[in-house]
Structure 1
Amino acid sequence: MLAGAGRLVAFRCPPAGHRDGPDWDDDEHEVDRWCRLLDWYGIPADRTDLALRRPPAGRLPAGVTVVHPGSKVEAKRWPADRFAVLARRLADRGHRVVVTGSAGERELAARVAAGARLPRSAVLAGRTDLGELAALVAAARLVVSGDTGVGHLATAYRVPSVLLFGPVPPARWGPPADRPWHRVLWAAGEDCAAGPGVGTAARWAALPVDRVLAAVDEAEETVRV
């Protein structure tokens, strides 16, 4: 309302003084959640329409493989040394790898690039604004990232991706399951070799580089078919 809106569309929350709207479902996928909210108020929403209009080409290269090792939530990060090995092996396969991230993730991106023996120019963390990052992803060959915004951009632009989920289940935030060019590996689920009851770090450690590379192959194969 502070923005001058004439109508509040929200989930029911009596403690906040809002008694209208549907109840919140904590286990619901984010897309379903917000489409359900709009539907409650008679606003049409299509849960399958996730596409964004592709931005015009910018100053950054097209056809790169975007490796995005960061996340604001530490528990969502696959180990940096694993990202470095992955980036090196992708480069050895002929991928032009760039490492992205926020300004606060420059050091992380630089460590990944150094471990992968990539040139300094491959580190784009902190060197793009949101529009430039979106254009980079839209024109990319592949995206490999954790459970963070870059993965959602890959979904929106239909760019092949391999997304590494940690403690949060992909059933809440992952791409649509019927799009085989997006592959999801869940460190807390069946993709993890660690047994029940272990911490997040141990589960991440049980997700090997070879499994991620296999997912890359699977994602790219769906594009070639």
Structure 2
Amino acid sequence: MPAVLMLRALNLGDLLVSVPAMRALRRRYPRHRMLLAGNPALAEVAALTGAVDECVPHRGLGPPAVAAPDVAVDLHGVLPGSVRALQALRPRRLVAFACAEAGHTGGPLVREVEHEVAKWCRLVRYDGADADEGDLLLPPPDVASPRPGAAVLHPGAGYGSKRWPPARFAAVARALAAQGHEVVITGTAAERGLAARVAAAAGLPETANLAGTTGIGSLLALVHEAALVISGDTGVAHLATAYERPSVVLFGPASPRIWGPPAKPCHVALWHGTGEREVLADRPDPALLRITVPEVLAAAARVLAASPA
């Protein structure tokens, strides 16, 4: 059976914003086996998209371990490295943005400012796929939520410039708990200490700290059944979009015009930046620090009011 290889060897949020494009490719190539070269930790999420038959474990910008796919699609977005990685596989057809440095001219031009969902949908439309930018939702996982109905706060992020101060997350958690919400703090195993500091400062019990205790399936279930999700610009925010849970997303170095949730009443993106360039650094971005605790609580009240119980 001929294969379509999709390269997206990144993290959770990166995978979720590419779901409409991947589903469009599935419809475009119904007789092909759909392979995703990507983060092996996200295989369960990839399966839920309905667009992937097999995950090929892959990280970085070397050529994926796939021999001569019929079609190779560059959804990775790092030019020219990702284009060259797929060229090395000698596919019959390469679907990628034009990149003169890699010698590839048969694709659309990259735009300086474009939402990630729209970007990948535009690429696959160039190949003839019928892509729907609103096709972002996931079916629920096959596991139960560890805390159904909880308000989920996720203070961590891959870069310090995307991390709102822990003391402010704690103030939000304390206020939500006073309103009667069960509040839980999520994060990776490496962020368990951060989550513990937030929980302690908010006066929450130790059991509120779920950082490092949820596998990907449990995290999906937790967000799927959450009453509210508050996070920085990271993968959990995109999960809230995928399950249409009320969410407040705090943006700093990156613009919501590129990474923000859909324009729906159940989502609010807070941003006080002025540019479109994403600057990744160790310290919280100045634009992120302009977001206040009362502003976040007011946004939470709005999305909760706009969403059914």
Is this a same-fold pair by TM over 0.5? yes
**Mapped partners of 1:114, 1:200: distance in 2:** 21
Residue 205 of structure 2 corresponds to residue 119 of structure 1 = yes
Q: Kindly indicate whether the alpha-carbon contact (under 8 Å) linking 1:167 and 1:187 is maintained by their aligned counterparts in 2.
A: no
- In structure 2, the partner of 1:193 is none
2:269 aligned residue (179, 184, 202): 184
**Mapped partners of 2:103, 2:178: distance in 1:** 58
- In structure 2, the partner of 1:67 is 153
Q: Which range moves more in the overlay, 103-112 or 137-146?
A: 103-112
Q: Which amino acid aligns with 2:270?
A: L
State the Cα RMSD in Å: 1.7
Partner-residue secondary structure (3-state), 2:307: helix
Q: Which has the higher strand share?
A: 2
Match runs of 1:1-225 below 5 Å: 2=64, 3-4=66-67, 5-8=69-72, 9-58=95-144, 60-177=146-263, 179-188=264-273, 201-224=285-308
Partner-residue secondary structure (3-state), 2:248: strand
- In structure 1, the partner of 2:78 is none
Cα deviation, residue 59, structure 1? 5.4
Q: Which amino acid aligns with 1:21?
A: G
In structure 1, stretches of 5+ residues that fail to align are: 190-198
Partner-residue secondary structure (3-state), 2:297: helix
**Mapped partners of 2:175, 2:107: distance in 1:** 50
Q: Kindly indicate whether the alpha-carbon contact (under 8 Å) linking 1:187 and 1:203 is maintained by their aligned counterparts in 2.
A: yes
When normalised by structure 2's length, the TM-score is 0.66
**Mapped partners of 1:112, 1:26: distance in 2:** 37
Q: Deviations over 1:109-160 (max 9, x none)?
A: 1111111111111111111111211111001100000000100000010100
**Mapped partners of 2:292, 2:206: distance in 1:** 26
Cα deviation, residue 205, structure 1? 3.3
Partner-residue secondary structure (3-state), 1:53: coil
Cα deviation, residue 207, structure 1? 1.7
**Mapped partners of 2:100, 2:291: distance in 1:** 43
Cα deviation, residue 218, structure 1? 0.5
Partner-residue secondary structure (3-state), 2:250: strand
Q: Which amino acid aligns with 2:159?
A: V
